[in-house]
Every structure is written in C-alpha cells, then in structure tokens.
C-alpha cells in the first residue's frame, strides 16, 4: 500500500478542486437592463442531502435566507461609507429583481412580469449563475416593479 506524503496529498486535493463545479443554488439577484446582466447576486449552494432533510422535516420550500431590502440597504450604506459609486441607490423595488428557490421537486425563479419579454435571456443567465439543471418561472405581483416587502409599502386606503 502506498501512503501519500502531506505534500502529495495537498497536490491531489488542489488538482481535484480545479474540477469542482458549483452545486445548484438558491439565491437572489437584480437585473440591470442597460447591460443585460445580474448584480447584487447572493446565493447558497443546495445539496441533495439538504433537500432530503427538508422533505423529511415537512419543509417543502428551501429559500435563500435574506431579503432583497436587507441586501440593498447593506450595500447602499457600504458604498456611502466608502464614497463609492453603486447601483444600490434609490428604491430597491424599482430595479428588476428575482429569487431562486427550491420547492418539492424543482427549482423555481420568482420574478415580476417585467421578466416575460426577456425570459429567454434570463433563462440563460439564471442557468449559468445559479447552476440550475432546470427550473420554472413563477410570476407574482410581489416581484413587479414598485412592489416589495409588505412592511416597506404604504398602507392602502
């Protein structure tokens, strides 16, 4: 039997890391229509084990654990403190945004109706950025421009 030295073991581990692909992810994003790209992406890899554990615990929905408004505020104040230019200014609900989640047996991408005319372009960006093998778009008013977290919205009369 051959035993690797620590150096040989580290070289093998480094070599294997070069083949490592990102696991499918849940997360959030904003879409910049001027340059047709995402920004403010936050994501978390999702493993088959996490999906199985969630199902066993009766939790059929796996989500990224932060809200758009939280990320927006953090990035806005970070840029202010550094006197840096940022895309994180103004009302976060006025910029196209979405969320990638897992439910029962598929990934879903929650977006507003702003996404319908560019669905093909978004599909390509989402597949690449979140390493999704497949997903379905779910359109909801919450993700439409000008809509957001209920605590941020003025009360309707």
> Could you read off the pLDDT of 50-89 as tens digits, one per residue?
999 998 898 889 999 999 999 999 999 999 999 999 999 9
CB 67 within 8 A of CB 132: no
Is the pLDDT score of 143 beyond 80?
A: yes
Q: For the whole model, what pTM was predicted?
A: 0.82
Q: What digits encode the pLDDT tens for the residues 4-33?
A: 788 888 878 777 676 667 889 999 999 999
Contacts of 79-87 with C-beta under 8 Å, sequence gap 24+, read 87/30, 87/32, 87/39, 87/40
Q: Is the pLDDT of residue 121 over 60?
A: yes
Q: Within 13 A of 138's CA, how many CA atoms are on the CB side?
A: 12
Q: Which of 21, 31, 19 lies closest to 126, judged by CA?
A: 31
């Amino acid at each position: 039997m051959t035993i690797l030295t620590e150096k040989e073991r580290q070289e093998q581990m480094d070599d294997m890391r070069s083949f490592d692909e990102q696991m499918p992810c849940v997360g959030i994003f904003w879409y910049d229509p001027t340059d047709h790209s995402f920004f403010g992406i936050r994501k978390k890899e999702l493993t088959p084990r996490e999906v199985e554990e969630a199902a066993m615990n009766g939790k059929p929905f796996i989500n990224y654990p932060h809200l758009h408004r939280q990320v927006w505020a953090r990035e806005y104040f970070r840029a202010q403190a550094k006197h840096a230019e940022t895309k994180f200014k103004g009302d976060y609900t006025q910029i196209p945004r979405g969320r990638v989640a897992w439910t029962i047996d598929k990934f879903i991408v929650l977006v507003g109706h702003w996404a319908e005319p560019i669905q093909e372009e978004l599909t390509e960006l989402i597949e690449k950025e979140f390493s999704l093998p497949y997903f379905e778009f779910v359109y909801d008013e919450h993700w439409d421009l000008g809509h957001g977290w209920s605590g941020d919205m003025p009360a309707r009369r």
